[in-house]
Chain A
Amino acid sequence: MKSSPTPPTALKEFRENLRAAPRRIWEAAFRGGKPATDRTRSTFVFGNVFLHLHSVRTHLWSLRWSTTLGLGIASAAAFFITLVTGVLLMFYYKPYPDAAYDSIKDIHFVVPTGRFIRNIHRWAANVMVVAVILHMARVFYTAAYRKPREFNWLIGLGLLVTTLGLSFTGYLLPWDQLAYWAITIGANIAQSPREVTDALRITDWFDPGGFQRLLLLGSDEVGAEALIRFYLLHVMILPLVLTALLAVHIWRVRKDGGLARPADADRRLGPPGEDVYPIFTQAPARTYHLAAIVKGRTPVVGRGPENTVPSMPHLFYAELAVLMLTVFLCLVLSLAWDAPLKELANPAVPENPAKAPWYFLGLQEMVAFSAFVGGIAIPSIVLIGLGLIPFLDREDAGTGGWFGGPGGWPLVRRSILWGLVAAVGIEAFAIHFGWLRQWFPHIPQLIITAVNPGTVLTAVYGLYSLWLVKRYGSARAGALGLFTCFLCGFTVLTIIGTYFRGPNWDFYWSSSQWPSH
């Protein structure tokens, strides 16, 4: 008699399981199988926590280059690049005065690939700011912020502010002259509500400006405390906030029914091609409730054959292409231009001229007339105005099309002209003739705070926009004019701040005319 047959069988099973383990691990990780059919392509998306931020199917209109220009994905891609390069830089960076400067120098001169990584980090940050602003302009000009996408527009504004905050906090970290004085100016802008509270003589009791500055710097000067706070904000708090907002932002696109498209998008696209397999071959007549969890009807009801394709691969490959283009752009810029590093920060000698990062130079231009107005009041007004747009414009003409809405492209063209002329005109006047204090030396500060080129320009743009609302009988027309004007004003002020301001913030036609020390 042989012994019991159990041991050999168990061992055999064990051996077979061991042999099958790699395959089973693979299958457990990729449960849906290869995304080859429409069904497996769907499970590929909704079976994945990251991919299912996107919807399973994408409308063909969303995939046209001219719908988005890929700007949203480019912003996210640039953020992803800064994330990777930023973590690499953290291997060497030490957030302590002077040591910080030395560690950046090490990264620049000693660490293998360090200079290249730092260049990419800096360029990706710049690309991100540009892409975010252009993405906002795209959403605005295609009227894609309208119902039901109002909330996502607000999330987008949050992302814009976080992006600028990330750039600004990163600016201090090298602890060079450029960083030190830009942050000194920035922290004092945070303190600038004192301009008003001082003039009203209430600073001793009510000092929001001083509190903001103290919170930012952790001390009454820019030093070790400020550096560690900016570092914490830059590598931890703001990236977390941005990641969370970004996830909500992308997910809301799906929940709001994909990207905005014109009401007649399906007609303009024509019937779906042979290769597009429609989920419904004809308009479904019935309402599909999802067990009382979801409000309203499913989107396809009553619409009929849809021009949608599976997101895998159509959407994801397009996104991958945008990511590759963004990486390529950052690499080329990094090879061509090194990120700057000036002398070690010296609290006794300001950089002259001390310039903020370029996207803040428009603000700095206004700050050169009144710190509170240029640095806090007008940016707040602009942000509040942007946030209100989808709640004031409740129209539906032109959604999804470029420059859609009453007035259209001719209105935008006229607004560009008006926006440029007004900004250049007011700046030219202020540069040539000076401003109130040169004419009336004893003028009260409150009058200068209330009347300066920044407030005058804002008022001119605001009145123009109100006139448009009246003329076209449409809030959208006013918004088109105002948004265009502010983009123009931002551009003009940024260019003047960048190229035409020299030592003492005096006007120079070119930096070759700057006086030598």
Chain B
Amino acid sequence: MTTQPKSARSRLDPEPLPRRDWLGLASLWAAASAFLFATLGMIRLPKAAVLASPSKRFRIHLPENLQPGQAFVPSGRPVAVFRDESGVWALSTICTHLGCIVKPTPAGFECPCHGSHFAADGSVTRGPAPQPLPWLKVSLSGNSLTVDAGAVVPSGSKVSA
């Protein structure tokens, strides 16, 4: 009886890799996980722990002759401030659609970029904006008032002295 080799392999075929090369596999996995952790660390870098942006709190004086329903826009701030008999309140003028600055109109607000319209209370009346304009935190001290454009309060929150 003659014995046959288990598989006739051409010498041109590559050598099969030994599957149970424990050291080899271990070092391969060690290298792979090291790369993985290095990548995770690198992904963490672009998100800073503290974001560079100017303070969103600012103090303003409302003009004496500000009429109810008339918007006061402090220069350079994406905020509209209103006053009537029941108090003072502020709305963000950053469009909730794609971040353009909306313009106060007698009926409410209009966005120049994609034509969203908002009512005076910030709710969407027309266009693609998915959310109403947020109301912002206002605090009164004497006749000056502080607006915090980073703090959102429930719609309809008016502040009176």
Chain A residues near B (Cβ < 8 Å): 181, 184-185, 187-189, 192, 194-195, 198-199, 211, 214-215, 218-221, 223-225, 229, 291-292, 347-354, 364, 367-371, 434, 437-438, 441, 445, 448-449, 503-506
Contacts and interface: CB of A to CB of B under 8 A. Distances in A.
Contacts of B13: 292
Q: List the 6 closest A-B pairs by CB distance, nearest first.
A: A292-B12, A352-B112, A188-B98, A188-B99, A368-B114, A350-B100
B125 interface: yes
B52 A224 contact: yes
Contact of A291 (B12, B98, B114): B12
Given A352-B112, A354-B100, A504-B115, 15 more contacts: A188-B98, A198-B130, A219-B53, A224-B52, A229-B46, A347-B76, A348-B76, A368-B114, A370-B128, A371-B130, A434-B126, A437-B125, A441-B125, A503-B112, A505-B113
A349 B99 contact: no
Interface residues of B, number: 31
A498 to B, nearest CB: 15
B153 to A, nearest CB: 17
Contacts of B128: 367-371, 448
B19 to A, nearest CB: 22
A349 B114 CA distance: 15
Contacts of A215: 46-47
Contacts of A348: 75-78, 101
B133 to A, nearest CB: 14
A504 B112 contact: yes
B110 A504 contact: yes
Contacts of A224: 52
B124 A437 contact: yes
Q: Which of B10, B113, B125 has the most CB of A within 10 A?
A: B113
B111 interface: yes
Main secondary structure of the interface of A (DSSP, over half): helix
B130 A199 contact: yes
A506 B115 contact: yes
Contacts of B113: 181, 185, 350, 352-354, 504-505
Contact of B126 (A181, A437, A445): A437
A438 B52 contact: no
B53 A220 contact: yes
Contacts of B112: 350-354, 503-504
B48 interface: yes
B67 interface: no
Interface string B5-22: 000001011000000000
B47 to A, nearest CB: 6
Nearest to B124: A437
Contacts of A219: 51-53
A458 B38 CA distance: 41
A363 to B, nearest CB: 12
A25 to B, nearest CB: 41
Contact of B98 (A225, A371, A449): A371
A506 B126 CA distance: 12
B120 to A, nearest CB: 15
Contacts of A187: 99
A55 B53 CA distance: 54
A292 B9 CA distance: 13
Nearest to B100: A350
8 contacts: A192-B98, A221-B53, A348-B76, A351-B112, A437-B124, A504-B112, A504-B113, A505-B114
B44 to A, nearest CB: 11
Nearest to B113: A354
B122 to A, nearest CB: 14
Q: Which of A192, A225, A291, A437 has the most CB of B within 10 A?
A: A437
A437 B125 CA distance: 7
Contacts of A198: 130-131
Nearest to A196: B130
Contacts of A364: 114
